[in-house]
Structure 1
Amino acid sequence: MNSNILMMISNLETEESMFVQNMIKEMDEEQQKTFIMMYQNKRRDSTLILICTIIGFFGFAGVQRFLTNQIGMGLLYFFTGGLCMIGTIVDLVNHRSIALEYNQKMALETFQLMKTWGK
C-alpha cells in the first residue's frame, strides 16, 4: 500500500487512519486513490463537529447531529434546546467519537460501493 495515499485526507486522526488502512490494504493503488477521493467528500472533521456543537449553545442546537445524518436526533435537539443543554454538553465532550462513528460508517459505505462497482 502506498503510505502517502492517506496524506490526501486532511485532519485524519489515528484511529480513523488505522480503520481506513485496514479497509484498503488489499486494493491496488488506483482503487485506493478512488476510495480516498470518494471517502474524503463524505467524511466529517471532528473540528467541524466541535464547532457545530458550540453553535448549539447559541440557539441552533442539533446542527452536529444533522451533519452526521442523525436527522431524528437533530430535530429532537433543535426543539428541546439540546435536551435542555445536557445533550449539547455531552456532545461537546464526545465530538471526536461522534465524528469517528460517522466516518467509519461512511468508509464502510464507500467500500461497499466500490465492491459493487468492481463486480
Structure 2
Amino acid sequence: MNTHYDPYMTFSDITTEEMMFLQQATNGLSERQKQYFYMVYSGKRRSPQEILIYTLLGFVLINGVQRFVTGQTVMGLLYLFTGGFCLIGTIIDLVNHRSLATEYNQKMAYESFQITKMAVQE
C-alpha cells in the first residue's frame, strides 16, 4: 500500500472515529498484513446506511433484521417475537443506527486483526 493512499477512504460513509480506530488498530502491521486486514475487514464491514435500511425493514416486514445483521441474534429474536418491543426498540435503533454500525465495525476490526495475525506471519 502506498503511504499516501489510505484504502479506508474507499469505504462509504466512514467516520473520523472509525478511520482513527482502524489506523490505530493496524499501526503495528506490516504492509502485507495491512493489505490482508483491509481485504478481510472490507468484507465484514457494515455502513450506517445499511443498518438504517435494515432498521426501516422492521417497520415494513420483519422486526429485528438490523440486530441479526450485526450479530446480535438474541436481541434479533426478541425484536422478532415482540414486534420490535412494540416498535419502540425499532425507533430507538432508527435513531442510533450509526452507533450500532460503529460498535459492529469495531468488533469486526478486532476479528479481522486476529485473522490477519494468524494468517500472515512476518
Q: Same fold (TM over 0.5)?
A: yes
Question: Which of 22, 36, 52 is equivalent to 1:34?
Answer: 36
Amino acid at match of 1:16: E
Q: Which has the higher helix share?
A: 1
| Structure 2: segments with no counterpart, 5+ residues | none
Over the aligned positions, Cα root-mean-square deviation in angstroms equals 1.6
Q: Percent identity?
A: 52
CA contact (8 A) 1:59 1:81 kept: no
Deviation above 3 Å: which 4+ runs of structure 1? none
Which residue of structure 2 aligns with residue 77 of structure 1? 79
Question: Which of 60, 63, 73 is equivalent to 2:65?
Answer: 63
Q: Deviations over 1:87-113 (max 9, x none)?
A: 001100110000000000000011112
Structure 2 length normalisation: TM-score? 0.90
CA contact (8 A) 2:79 2:89 kept: yes
Tell me how far 1:10 sits from its aligned partner: 3.0
Which residue of structure 1 aligns with residue 96 of structure 2? 94
CA contact (8 A) 2:33 2:117 kept: no
Question: Which of 35, 45, 48 is equivalent to 2:47?
Answer: 45
Which residue of structure 1 aligns with residue 26 of structure 2? 24
| Cα distance in 1, alignment partners of residues 72 and 118 from structure 2 | 25
| Structure 1: segments with no counterpart, 5+ residues | none
Amino acid at match of 1:101: E
State how many pairs are aligned: 119
CA contact (8 A) 1:5 1:32 kept: no
Tell me how far 1:59 sits from its aligned partner: 3.3
